[in-house]
Amino acid sequence: MKRCTILALLAFIAGSWHIMAIACSCPKTLPPIEALEKADAVFVGRVVKGEVRRHPHPKIKYWEDRSFTFEVKQFWKGELQRTATVETGLNDGICGYHFIIGREYLVYARRSEEGLYTSICTRTKLWHHEGKSEVSEFGESKSPENEKEATP
């Protein structure tokens, strides 16, 4: 019995090491103003759509991420229209943010080849819980209705 307990404990520890080895590692979180300066876009938006996307990769068959479409309510940085699409990692192991459709978020995003990208390493958060108090230092926000529509 004691031998089975020890083997089970060792199996659990070995499994945990594997999880730790692939876990996301974030640098120190920046204060709000510094995060605003480093981001390419900062906005409040409601998630209206989410999907998993597959991308071809030369060394592996493909890699996946998640893409979320937001209805933009207001923004402080970036050239944003009424909707914005933001990519994030597929899961926590690659720093993916877990957005929930229908909820509003304060999103800090960077530009990549694919478009806007965010992760759990940014200050992105639920708008109604923590986000509202964070933007008081940002100055006046813009509304996407006040911006010109993008022309193709």
| Residue 67 covered by a domain | yes
The total number of structural domains in the chain stands at: 1
- Residue 59: phi, psi to the nearest 5? -95, -25
Would residue 83 count as lying in a domain?
A: yes
CATH code for the domain in which residue 61 is found:
2.40.50.120
Reported pTM: 0.76
* Mean per-residue pLDDT, 24-34: 90
SS3 per-residue string spanning 29-47? CCCHHHHHHHCCEEEEEEE
DSSP annotation string for 81-143: -SEEEEEEESSGGGT-----TT-EEEEEEEEETTEEE--TTSS-EEIIIIIHHHGGGS---B-
Residue 127's domain comprises 24-146
Whether 16 maps to a domain, the answer reads no
In tens, the pLDDT along 77-130 reads 998 999 999 999 887 777 999 999 999 999 999 998 879 999 999 999 999 878
Q: Is residue 9 part of a domain?
A: no
